[in-house]
Amino acid sequence: MKELLEKLTSAFGPSGYESRVRDLILETIKNDIDEYRIDALGNLITRKGTRKANGKRIMVSAHMDEIGLMVTHVDEQGFAYVTNLGGVRPLNLMSNRVVFADGTEGMLCARDMEPGKIPALDQYFVDTGASSRKSCKVKIGDPAVFVGRFVDMGDRRMSKTMDDRIGCLIAIEALKALKDSPHEVRFVFSVQEEVGLRGAKTSAYSVDPEIGIALDVTLCNDTPGLTERNLKFGAGPCIKAKDGSLVGTPWLNNALYDAAERAGIPYQVEVLRGAGTDAGAISLTRSGVPSSVISVACRYVHTPSEMVDVSDVKQAIQLLVEFLSKEIK
């Protein structure tokens, strides 16, 4: 599991450029699924099992894309200016390294730096070591992601892109472990979540599920200085009551709480003031889909050093497998 997570998090896959992540996932799961297809936007839509008399068609979605940057222009000296692909905060950019699809690395800096002030996103440029526009290897439209090496910290793991390769890992492990389910489970590895839940929107339309579950990270607020203290490391997977895109369907959440109790694992009820996940898009598909999220508390979300707790991840897999194995009442 550790090796797979390292591979998943290391893969390059900003929104709209998920093919390397998709190839890796497909290679990993192709013997464990009954069918798959890749849709026009690039979503990997799989099927595991068939719908029995008491079963449902369930879509389980984890997004493959990661936040990134895109070059807006390269100046005459060879500095590449950037804009955001997804929820990149200017605060988290300063002095970080980024890497482009061809392996070119660069350092992020900003012009007009005033002491004590965070530069606006349009002030940031990437220095790839080029000495002119002509010799700069990156050009307008090239996407980049953070450099953030995978680190095994014992009980915890740190890397770029735990958001949402950890969701991809949970889906992969659950689909490998799932046996004898009454449900038709559509594991979807979605694209373009970070730019507005776009892949989940089109994939949910074609899957036409009766229940939607997203797998994603959520904000772990157990570090110093945070006012809300409702989610912490080591207290089990989180079940979504609310975020900016979704109110978790109450009867579905009750079914998830029951599954956690049957599996003998702890869980946390998650309330977020904002943000969103694929479940928000799934819930508004066609005439509406009861939806919720199994999330993993993550520290330092949308930085190059996102951190998760190993026991939370293992229990999220257990919760999902238990939920998908039994009839839902």
The one-character DSSP state at 273 is: S
Q: Which is nearer to Co ion, 211 or 272 (CB)?
A: 272
The Cα–Cα gap between 98 and 100 comes to: 7
The mark string for 147-166 relative to Co ion (x by CB under 5 A, - otherwise) is: ----------------x---
User: For residues 170 and 265, which CB has a smaller minimum distance to Co ion in the complex?
Assistant: 170
Q: Which of residues 23-62 bind Zn ion (CB under 5 A)?
A: none
| Tokens 């950890």 sit on residue | 166
- How many residues contact Co ion, by CB under 5 A? 1
Give the strand pairing for 268-271 and 238-242.
parallel
* Binding to Zn ion, residues 157-186 (CB under 5 A): 163-164
Residues counted in the chain: 329
Please, which residue, 18 or 163, has the CB nearer to Zn ion?
A: 163
Q: Take residue 135 and report the two structure tokens written for it.
A: 């010799």
- Which of Zn ion, Co ion, none binds 216 (CB below 5-8 Å, type-dependent)? Zn ion
- Please tell me whether residue 18 binds Co ion under the rule CB under 5 A: no
Any contact of residue 312 with Zn ion (CB under 5 A)? no
Q: What is the largest CA-CA distance in the chain?
A: 67
Q: Token pair for residue 314?
A: 């293992």
Q: How many residues bind Zn ion (CB under 5 A)?
A: 3
Q: Is 65 among the residues that bind Zn ion (CB under 5 A)?
A: no
Catalytic option among 193, 194, 306, 322: 193
Query: H-helix or E-strand containing 293?
Result: strand 291-299
Which two structure tokens, joined as six digits, stand for 154?
């014992």
- Token digits of residue 210: 């009766």
Q: Is 207 helix (H, G, I), strand (E, B) or coil?
A: helix
Q: Give me the least distance between CB of 258 and Zn ion, in Å please.
A: 26
Using rule CB under 5 A, residue 278 touches Co ion? no
Q: Reply yes or no on whether 18 is catalytic.
A: no
Closest CB 241 distance from Co ion, rounded Å? 19
Q: Are 322 and 262 in contact (CB under 8 A)?
A: yes
Active site members? 193
Q: Which residues bind Co ion (CB under 5 A)?
A: 163
